[in-house]
Copies of this chain bind each other. A is one copy, B any other.
């Protein structure tokens, strides 16, 4: 997101109003405080105005959904699609359970008569309504080579929208119908190939009685792990279990040089795990920066890291 923020107006913890970067595309005069405030979760300053950089409308796209036997070939599949369609944007994975949930609760039509363990949706530039024989032939080759099990191509704008809807409905449907424990992890893109199946294996072992709905932005190395609370387990019991398992999950993330939070932030829920992604030396610097912007500790105290101990002067 911070790539799209040109400028911010903010108020610091001492009441200073700062105009950070105005509406400038380029500005190399000292440190980038605008970027520092982006993602600071309200702990450095309160944002009162923002200038965003808008993009040109995306060119028309053809959407393709593939059924997969498992997630282990996901990195190679991304490389293959990018090799053939440079500039490919959307490339998303979702597990079989995600599609089950969407089909069950939204009445969406499944893309294939058969249910597969995982799916990918990607987008290539082009006119969905025009003949796309080369694309279809190539998907046939991928199928014949066992890299995908089946594929469906949106042949109109409506069909493309319906296919994307399968992916886009996952998050809202899960939140509406289930009690969830959510994680939002990321690893370097080149590690996604092995990491996605590693996480699937880990989760299956750590939560033998719970279902896991897993989806992610493969091209960003980002995976959303959603554990569904099983029936018959109380929410506090489930949360305690999830908290304990998180430490093991984050150890895997750290070993893969990943992050415990790709998009969601740290807040309170991930605060005790910050050291899995940031070193102690970094955390000291973060705290120092916090003190500069907010010397009295009044801005969202206790978020990201524990509030500073207040020294009460002796009377």
Residues of chain A at the chain B interface (Cβ within 8 Å): 2-3, 12, 16, 18-20, 22-33, 35-36, 38-40, 44, 56-57, 59, 82, 86-87, 186-190, 217, 219-222, 257-266, 270, 274, 277-279, 281-283, 285-286, 288-289, 292-293, 304-305
Knowing A285-B293, A293-B285, the reply to whether A262 touches B26 (Cβ < 8 A) is yes
Do A25 and B285 have beta carbons less than 8 Å apart? no
Do B263 and A25 have beta carbons less than 8 Å apart? no
Knowing A32-B39, A282-B33, the reply to whether A27 touches B293 (Cβ < 8 A) is no
Q: Could you say how many copies of this chain the assembly holds?
A: 2
CB-nearest residue of chain B to A125: B59
CB-nearest residue of chain B to A280: B16
A75 to B25, CA, bound (A): 15
Do A282 and B18 have beta carbons less than 8 Å apart? yes
Instruction: Give the one of A2, A16, A29, A283 with max B CB within 10 A.
Output: A29
- Contacts A18-B285, A25-B220, A31-B44 known; list 4 others, CB within 8 Å: A26-B217, A30-B274, A35-B36, A56-B82
